[in-house]
């Protein structure tokens, strides 16, 4: 669990009260800010939140602002830890002061720390299914480039061929042939699938970077799945 301050968060300030966003409007907002959760404020007070789950539940092009959320009054590490322990579906807990002003939040995990601690990565068991399939990595924008470059390095090491697509260019890359689309996280995946749902008429497979990455320890060393298989006499090609 980590403590994050206001300048580390994605925050949208409203000039008038509203209960929902048009998905295209909100997509433009989060594409610029790139965060796991967006906090909505009104008159300097925390008004609501929009998480990846809220985006997933988008209906008819409308994303609802969640105004019933768990929060803490002032910083309290023990209470935050208890919330995460008791409510596994909560990954972020906003913190406000006595006036309702957002101070920051507690996050269940730190993705960047997870990245730094992963000395070596390997492609998940899904890798074998990628052979002879078109792979498209969806570039999320500058705020998540650290993870994007991380996976590109992994693919280069395993000699995996792929294309790169910006999120806004998603429709241009759709074809009748099945492709494997790799997104930086569930938030980006849900946004694109929600916005372009009507355009996805042919079979497509969608994954997140985290679906494809895992650390594997063999004899005290982390090695790629392909290397492990070849060491056991299995012939691999990609």
Range of the domain at 151: 114-231
Whether residues 173 and 66 share a domain: the answer is no
Taking the model in full, what pTM does it have? 0.50
Q: Which of these, 20, 28, 50, 24, lies nearest to 37 by C-alpha position?
A: 50
Average pLDDT over residues 75-84: 94
Whether residues 11 and 105 share a domain: the answer is yes
CATH number of domain containing 214: 3.40.250
Q: Is 77 exposed, middle or buried (0-12, 13-18, 19+ CB in 10 A)?
A: exposed
185-208 b/e (C-beta count within 10 Å ≥ 16 → b): bbbbbbbbbbbeeeeeeeeeebbb
Within 9-97, strands assigned E span 10-14, 20-22, 37-42, 45-51, 62-64, 72-73, 92-96
With a cut of 80, say whether residue 114 has pLDDT above it. Answer: no
Which contiguous run of DSSP H or E holds residue 213? strand 213-214
Count the Cβ atoms, other than its own, within 10 Å of residue 40.
19
Domain for residue 60, yes or no? Answer: yes
Whether residues 141 and 121 share a domain: the answer is yes
Distance CA 135, CA 51 (A): 27
Average pLDDT over residues 212-224: 41
Whether residues 45 and 145 share a domain: the answer is no
Into how many domains does the chain fold?
A: 2
What's residue 92's pLDDT?
A: 92
Domain for residue 208, yes or no? Answer: yes
**Chain centroid to CA 63:** 17
Domain for residue 61, yes or no? Answer: yes
**Would you place residue 48 in the very low, low, confident or very high pLDDT band (cuts 50, 70, 90)?**
very high
With a cut of 60, say whether residue 219 has pLDDT above it. Answer: no
The proportion of the chain whose per-residue pLDDT surpasses 70, expressed as a percent, equals 71
Whether residues 94 and 148 share a domain: the answer is no
What's residue 70's pLDDT?
A: 94
Whether residues 162 and 86 share a domain: the answer is no
3-state secondary structure of 236: coil
What's residue 158's pLDDT?
A: 65
Domain final residue, candidates 109, 138, 166: 109
Domain for residue 222, yes or no? Answer: yes
Q: Are 163 and 173 in contact (CB under 8 A)?
A: yes
Q: Are 38 and 10 in contact (CB under 8 A)?
A: yes
Q: Which of these, 208, 210, 209, 192, lies nearest to 200 by C-alpha position?
A: 192
Whether residues 217 and 171 share a domain: the answer is yes
What's residue 30's pLDDT?
A: 65
Domain for residue 36, yes or no? Answer: yes
Whether residues 18 and 79 share a domain: the answer is yes
With a cut of 80, say whether residue 224 has pLDDT above it. Answer: no
Average pLDDT, the chain: 75
The proportion of the chain whose per-residue pLDDT surpasses 90, expressed as a percent, equals 23
What's residue 227's pLDDT?
A: 53
Between 110 and 196, the more confident residue is 196
Domain for residue 237, yes or no? Answer: no
Domain for residue 126, yes or no? Answer: yes
Distance from the first to the final alpha carbon of the chain? 39
**Would you place residue 22 in the very low, low, confident or very high pLDDT band (cuts 50, 70, 90)?**
confident
Domain final residue, candidates 109, 138, 163: 109
Whether residues 69 and 120 share a domain: the answer is no
Instruction: Tell me which of 87-91, 136-140, 154-158, 194-198 is least confident.
Output: 154-158
CATH number of domain containing 25: 3.10.580.10
């Amino acid at each position: 669990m980590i403590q994050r301050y206001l300048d580390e968060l994605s925050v949208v300030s409203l000039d008038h009260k509203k209960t929902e966003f048009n998905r295209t409007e909100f997509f433009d907002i989060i594409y610029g800010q790139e965060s796991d959760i967006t906090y909505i404020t009104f008159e300097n007070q925390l008004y609501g939140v929009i998480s990846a789950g809220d985006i997933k539940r988008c209906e008819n092009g409308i994303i609802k602002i969640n105004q019933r959320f768990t929060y803490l009054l002032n910083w309290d590490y023990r209470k935050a830890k208890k919330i995460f322990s008791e409510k596994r579906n909560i990954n972020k807990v906003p913190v406000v002061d006595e006036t309702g002003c957002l101070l920051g939040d507690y996050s269940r995990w730190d993705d960047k720390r997870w990245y730094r601690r992963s000395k070596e990565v390997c492609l998940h068991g899904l890798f074998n299914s990628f052979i002879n399939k078109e792979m498209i990595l969806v570039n999320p924008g500058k705020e998540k480039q650290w993870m994007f470059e991380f996976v590109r390095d992994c693919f280069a090491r395993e000699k995996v061929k792929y294309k790169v697509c910006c999120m806004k260019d998603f429709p241009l890359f759709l074809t009748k042939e099945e492709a494997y689309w790799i997104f930086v996280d569930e938030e980006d995946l849900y946004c694109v699938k929600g916005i372009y749902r009507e355009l996805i008429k042919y079979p497509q497979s969608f994954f997140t970077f985290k679906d494809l990455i895992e650390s594997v320890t063999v004899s005290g060393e982390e090695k790629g799945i392909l290397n492990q298989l070849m060491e056991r006499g299995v012939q691999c090609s990609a």
